Amino acid sequence: MEPIPIPITDELDLHTFRPGEVSDLLQDYFEACIEKGIPAVRVIHGKGIGALRRGVHAFLEKSPLVRAFRAAPPEAGGWGATMVELNPSTRNQNEKGSS
């Protein structure tokens, strides 16, 4: 299966991904955002039954790449999206780990 290129922006729509794919995707995406200087990301997981949201929040609670997160305001998706503030101090740690 060919990888799907995802443009790195301040918004990530997870509607086409399964809950089991979320952790690796978020890790890679947030690392790329930090490298590009993107300080925050709106992660769109949808409302549905909440499986995707729970997976996203479980990752966010543990990740050193994340400084803070909260439900998006109503005009940005409400509880169908999460606003994530990234931790730019992890940029140097990521560079050291890849050398």
Convert the pLDDT of each residue in 26-78 to its tens digit. Answer: 999 999 999 999 999 999 999 888 889 999 999 999 999 999 999 999 999 99
Question: Measuring CA to CA, which residue among 85, 59, 63 is closest to residue 72?
Answer: 85
Distance (Å, whole) CA 99 – CA 95: 7
Spatial neighbors of 73 by CB under 8 A, at least 6 apart, are 83
Contact 36, 71 (CB under 8 A): no
Question: Measuring CA to CA, which residue among 24, 40, 28 is closest to residue 72?
Answer: 40
Confidence class of residue 2 from pLDDT cuts 50, 70 and 90?
confident
Contact 87, 38 (CB under 8 A): no
Confidence class of residue 16 from pLDDT cuts 50, 70 and 90?
confident
Helix H segments across the chain?
A: 22-36, 51-62, 90-98
pTM (2 d.p.): 0.85
Task: State residue 98's pLDDT score.
Answer: 44
- From the candidate CATH numbers 3.30.1370.110, 3.30.390.30, 3.40.50.12780, 3.30.450.20, the one assigned to the domain spanning 11-98: 3.30.1370.110
